[in-house]
Structure 1
């Protein structure tokens, strides 16, 4: 692969590639990720093809003027003297041709005519795909401040409170869930009590689990806490077990 070694070569590469990259990025933002967008080679090929179309159109419309702008000034040995002598014009042209025009074309390509109803406009964007890649990405990120329970593949319930320290991984990473406050669950998935001294639990999701979110009571913004005496007893019991484990020789 050839790497640009001069400012002129770098500018040529940007002129060739950037319009297509901007166009495909804006279109993907408006339409949403299509199945073929998951392959980088497809996105790169599409961006290159679109850039070629834009470059040909620019040459047909304003070719002589662009050549004059890019040509060296008479008596100058600097290949970029045409740009450096008029930096504001060069910057405005670059902004227009590389950013504004591809963005506008991508947006106009998604406009659809429709029969306007009450209060509606005759033109509207018509996305083909939702920009969120999956239902999990849409739902999981909006379920903070609630209880969650997961019925695992091996038939066990895991759950707790999704607080400020919870974390959910989404596309393109494998799905998993960090519950920052673990709770004990009954056989039917009912929440019994919080696990003493819980620092959280990590739950990997392979696709066969069932995940349910349960809102807290209306008058409750934080999970209910155990009574003070039970919290103290549970902490003392946990410390005693840890110390006993350190002093008990392995069998």
Structure 2
């Protein structure tokens, strides 16, 4: 791959290649990875497709200005600051802002309902669920709740999954960070938050049961007596 040696080639590289990669990087950072993100060929093709969409939008918005500006190399020499700012906006700022807006919208309740309807329709048509694992389905946009985990050897762990908690995403191993650890006995009965707890990491790769409990009332009678949402 040759290095761009003219202003035109630099602009083509900025508009047709970089925006797609920037969009994907920000989206993955905010929304997690998918199976398609693991294949380098797929990521490159997706980046080119996204960049092409951005380029078409740019042409639709400022196409007339480009055709009336004469030779791009001459214009770039006459107004280097202007073209540098335009290149920065087109290649980095706009794709990053769009990716942030996309990720923010997907976390809203109104989008989640619409997205679930589209997902159900897609499933009926194709019988394929694009979500990588049940783990990602469970912890994507999860509200604050209690988490109860049982490993294959019968050991129980529990904690409060709040705003500062974290769940790994595909393809990383299944681990949880709960911001408050909660006492739990050998039968899975939750007690009080562990005094002085500043969080706990739970390795769920060996778990055979992971339960998400939005409120104590949702559990069978007596299971979470005395347990309150940590403040």
Give the TM-score normalised by the residue count of structure 1: 0.48
1:158 pairs with 2:157: yes
Bigger helix share: 2
| CA–CA separation in structure 2 for the residues paired with 1:208 and 1:83 | 64
- Aligned ranges for residues 185-204 of structure 1 at < 5 Å? 185-204=184-203
Q: Distance in 2 between matches of 1:4 and 1:43?
A: 22
Contact 2:177 2:202 in 1 (8 A): yes
8 Å contact kept, 2:143–2:162: no
Offset, 1:210: 1.4
1:214-246 deviation digits (Å, cap 9, x = unpaired): 22349x994389xxxxxxxxxxxxxxxxxxxxx
Q: Partner of 2:211 in structure 1?
A: 212
**Aligned residue in 2 for 1:115:** none
Deviation at 1:159, TM superposition (A): 0.8
- Give the conservation status (yes or no) of the 8 Å contact 2:35–2:170: no
**For the residues of structure 1 that align with 2:149 and 2:67, how far apart are their CA atoms?**
64
Tell me if structure 2 keeps the 8 A contact 1:149–1:157: yes
Task: Please list every run of 5 or more consecutive structure 2 residues that lacks an aligned counterpart in the other structure.
Answer: 26-32, 56-64, 99-116, 123-127, 219-225
Evaluate the alpha carbon distance shift between residue 191 and residue 15 of structure 1 in structure 2; reply closer, same or farther with a 3 A threshold: closer
* Counterpart residue number, 1:12: 12
Runs of 5+ in structure 1 lacking a partner?
A: 26-32, 56-64, 73-77, 104-124, 226-251
Q: Which residues in structure 2 correspond to 1:130-169 (within 5 Å)?
A: 133-140=132-139, 141-144=141-144, 146-169=145-168
- d(CA) in 1 for partners of 2:198, 2:68: 67
Structure 2 counterparts to residues 174-185 of structure 1, below 5 A: 174-185=173-184
Of structures 1 and 2, the one scoring higher in RCO (CA 8 A, sep 6+) is 2
Question: Following the alignment from structure 1 to structure 2, what is the Cα–Cα distance between the partners of residues 132 and 181?
Answer: 29
Distance 1:177 1:159 in 2: 10
Secondary structure of the residue aligned to 1:138 is helix
RMSD: 5.4
Match runs of 1:1-251 below 5 Å: 1-4=1-4, 6-17=6-17, 35-48=35-48, 71=71, 79-80=74-75, 128=122, 133-140=132-139, 141-144=141-144, 146-206=145-205, 208-214=207-213, 215-217=215-217, 222-223=228-229
How many residues are aligned here? 185
TM-score with structure 2 setting the length: 0.51
Q: Return the alpha-carbon distance in structure 2 between the equivalents of residues 35 and 224 of structure 1.
A: 35
Deviation for aligned residue 1:202: 1.1
Q: How far apart are residue 149 of structure 1 and its match?
A: 1.0
Name the residue aligned to 1:249.
none
Cα pair 1:143 1:213 within 8 Å, conserved:
no
* Structure of greater Rg: 1
CA contact (8 A) 2:15 2:54 kept: no
